[in-house]
Amino acid sequence: MRSSFPIFGKDDETIYNPNELLSLFLDCTADGFAIVDMENRFLRINHKYTEIFGYTEEDLIGRTFYEFSNPDFVPGIISQVKNGKAFTNMITKRFHKDGYMLDIAVSYSPFRNKHGKIIAIIAIYRDITKIVSMEHELNRTRELYELITENTTDMIKVINKDKVIVYASPSHEKVISLKPDQVVGRSLSEFLSPEEDAILDKKLAEIIETGEPQILRKKFTTCEQITVYTEYNFSPIYNENKEIESFVSVGRNITDRVRQDATIRNLDRLSITGQLAAGVAHEIRNPLTSLKGFSKLLQTCSIRRSKRITLPSS
């Protein structure tokens, strides 16, 4: 068997021996790589291992992994690997040389010689600290959103472009007496009159064209025959390509506001009616005052004339 051979074709005329090829592979891989012998001593690490954990070859080669911090289950895993079992993508916590914690995905495999005998253990490490941190942040954000949607009195819905409801907040039961599972999967058109549905189509088209939120108002009767007025604010939801793929609707019960507005309008009408009545009374009172004055004047003239007629002659 040849001990040196070209491997990358005509573009690379370099002749590689097996040791050089192994070194090339270890230095180019994106994962941390360590080889441990059957006495648990480090035989080899690559550059990525040093980047992840901070330890150099001088720190590790010839020393056992027991001399470094490891999770409690590692010795048991190593024993099973020595018996031929492999473990892949185990999520663990490890320490950097400087003492801070890392999230590491690690795989262990037996390293066999050409006769099939296990002569060492291969450990492959991947730093997933940033990924785990983002997942934790995403979970916290999701929990926060769930807390908000489960406790808000506003009705929050997500609909796709076909107007099918894909999410409904628990507040729907409080406002319109429908549980979320009675709403999700149904078309929003089922809850609208033909006129309201046509207005909604127009609003959604405007959102797609302009990207601006739109408002829709609706009056409906609940299962308990209670009239409820609601106002919905529709906003676009974009995908990773900055394309609108769905809409979020935030609905609010404005029944009290509508009733207050109606009361205020009635008061305004009463006020106007009162002002009109006062104006009419004023216009009527003016000629009546004149008539009253003329009436008194005529009465006075009549009395004087009567006295002049009844005086005795001298």
Name the band, by pLDDT with cuts 50, 70 and 90, for residue 265: low
What pLDDT digit, counting tens, does each position of 221-247 carry? 656 667 777 888 899 999 888 889 999
Asked if residue 302 has pLDDT above 70, the reply is: no
Identify the burial level of 83 via C-beta atoms within 10 angstroms of its C-beta, where 0-12 means exposed, 13-18 middle and 19 or more buried: exposed
How far apart CA 171 and CA 163 sit, in angstroms, is 20
CATH no., domain 152-256 = 3.30.450.20
Residue 10 has pLDDT above 60, yes or no: no
Q: Which long-range contacts (CB under 8 A, 24 or more apart) does 235-243 make?
A: 235/207, 236/207, 236/208, 236/211, 237/158
pTM above 0.85, yes or no: no
What's the pLDDT band for 271 if we cut at 50, 70, 90?
low
Strands 101-112 and 118-127: antiparallel
Please compute the mean of the pLDDT values over residues 131-159 and round it to a whole number: 83
Instruction: State both tokens at 11.
Output: 């573009």
Place of tokens 């127009």: 202
Q: Do domains 18-133 and 152-256 have the same CATH topology?
A: yes
Is pLDDT at 21 greater than 50 in this prediction? yes
At residue 175, the 3 state secondary structure works out as: helix
Mean pLDDT for the chain overall = 81
CATH of 18-133, one of 3.30.2010.10, 1.10.3720.10, 3.30.450.20, 3.30.720.200: 3.30.450.20
Sketch the domain layout of the chain as residue ranges: 18-133, 152-256
Residue 263's pLDDT band (cuts 50, 70, 90) = low
Close Cβ partners of 35 (under 8 Å, ≥ 6 residues apart): 42, 43, 44, 45, 111, 120, 121, 122, 123
Report whether pLDDT(15) > 90: no
- The dihedrals phi and psi of 206, each to the nearest 5 degrees, come to -65, -35
> Strand 32-37's sheet: what is its strand order?
42-45, 32-37, 118-127, 101-112, 87-95
CB 180 within 8 A of CB 170: yes
How many helices (H) and strands (E) would you count in the chain?
A: 8, 10
Question: Longest C-alpha distance within the chain, in Å?
Answer: 176
